[in-house]
Amino acid sequence: FFNRLRQLDLKEGLRVEIFRARWTIAKMLNNWNRWKTASNVLHIQAKDFTNLTASLYKIAKFLRPNVKPTSLGRLVSMAQAWGLDLKYARRQCESELSELCTPHLQFALNHASSWREPDRLRAQEALKAIPEWRTYIKPADDFFDKLIKG
């Protein structure tokens, strides 16, 4: 799928990705609705990941209720080294010649939401021209936002 996706131009690639994402989003919303009150399910929202340390602590506490702060520090360091903290990855890779920009961090940045402003703006404009985005993804995003807020 991803090899085929890379062969398409931006507009057609977004169209194909919308169809795949539509099904994924529908499954996620259905699962969230079924499991939202289950105490044995870890509930994490996207906003929880704005602070890597806090989100890892939440995960660690769920998995091991007696986790020690020293273990958490090691967990945060490992997550940063793997590229899970995009702010950290961006700082390490600010310069193309940076020796701190490891292959893991570069991979994370290349596969994260576009961190280059012109690419992000171009993709946003292209999305507006795709009927499937307006029909399926935008309403799903709006619905998800209402669920989270209310």
pLDDT in tens, 12-43: 888 788 878 887 888 888 888 888 888 888 88
How many other C-beta atoms can be found within 10 angstroms of the C-beta atom of residue 6? 8
Which range is least confidently modeled, 50-64, 70-84, 112-126? 112-126
Q: What is the pLDDT of residues 86-123, one digit of tens each?
A: 788 888 888 766 788 888 788 777 766 554 667 667 76
Global pTM reads 0.41
Of 86, 117, 95, 122, the closest CA to residue 14 belongs to 122
Report yes or no: 137 and 16 within 8 Å, Cβ to Cβ: no
Map tokens 């989270």 to a residue: 148
Q: How far apart are CA 60 and CA 55, in angstroms?
A: 9
